[in-house]
Homo-oligomer: A and B are copies of this chain.
Amino acid sequence: MKKVKAFPCGTVANMVCGFDILGFALNEPCDEFEVEITDEPGVHIINNDDYNLPTDPEKNVSGAAMLALMDETPDVRGFIIRSTKLIKPGSGIGSSAASAAGVVVAANYLLGNRFSKLDLVRFAMFGEKVASGVKHADNIAPCIYGGVTLIRAIHPLDIVSIEAPLLHVTVVHPQIEVRTSDARQILKQQVLLKDAIKQWGNIAGLVAGLLKSDYDLIGRSLEDVIIEPVRSILIPGFDEVKKRSKDAGALGGGISGSGPSIFMLSKDAATAHAVAKEMEDVFIKIGIDYHTHVTTINQQGVKLVSE
């Protein structure tokens, strides 16, 4: 086998109260990467989309991840990556994580699955560093593992799968730009102990709600007293989207990653579609273009298709 197609999907980092530690994978949208082993030394990137992403592998998210993998595969001379991005960069649903994760999962398949998922996360984090300057794993991990993942610690990397009940997800991507670096910069470096205590109560509640399939507890725990009050001001319509989504029956939700996308979780598909309608109404009223996705949590991670 010399060639495989990988379909890494969008991911939602933070999951409201789990800033930098929780994330989950979506079943759509997904990118498409064709990865091929070649005798030509190095990583060769061919873009099949209109995003004009850099083709220098050191400056390209997929390329940087693949170079990290190649540091540990001296028997391989080169890879060709044919990239078709369908997850819009800057949307806040893990576009760069998909670029990084997709190619290393594909390469690992071609190499006989010699690396663990944890290794693949480690390689893909080099891609995140190119994208945002920070080697964070809260999109990469769910993209590769599927489901809901906890990054318990970064040094050393400790990833835990949090088995979740069936959850329907509605995502709205208002077509505005929120740069990850800006969204990081406005955060305060100190938090009040009393707010931190509220936050860890909610995180513990969310993890327990997921593992116990307790939808009410999940809903009660989807509360963020630290990050959301600061970041939500960068997203016009955020408060109204949240209120109308919950009124329509959503369990709860919030900013996806550093935004501008907003996600909501629901118990059933009908509610998730009703939530999408509310989200769309808000952005029509404000006059901002948007995309919505109504999907479910992806339990599989990166899908592979070999020809």
Name A residues whose Cβ lies closer than 8 Å to a Cβ of B.
17-22, 150-153, 158, 160, 162, 187-194, 196-208, 211-212, 217, 220-221, 226
Contacts and interface: CB of A to CB of B under 8 A. Distances in A.
B208 A162 contact: yes
Nearest to A217: B160
17 contacts: A17-B200, A21-B200, A22-B204, A150-B201, A152-B201, A152-B220, A152-B221, A153-B220, A160-B204, A160-B208, A191-B191, A196-B200, A203-B203, A203-B204, A204-B204, A204-B206, A204-B207
Contact of A200 (B190, B203, B211): B203
Nearest to A196: B196
The number of times this chain is found in the oligomer is 2
A189 to B, nearest CB: 6
A152 B199 CA distance: 9
A217 B159 CA distance: 10
B151 A201 contact: yes
Contact of A192 (B19, B189, B199): B189
Given A196-B199, A199-B196, A152 B204 contact: yes
Nearest to A151: B201
A200 to B, nearest CB: 5
A197 B22 CA distance: 11
A21 B197 contact: yes
Contacts of A162: 204, 208
A204 B150 contact: yes
Contacts of A152: 201-202, 204-205, 217, 220-221
A258 to B, nearest CB: 14
Contacts of A194: 189
A18, A190, A198, A204: residue with the most chain B Cβ atoms closer than 10 Å: A204
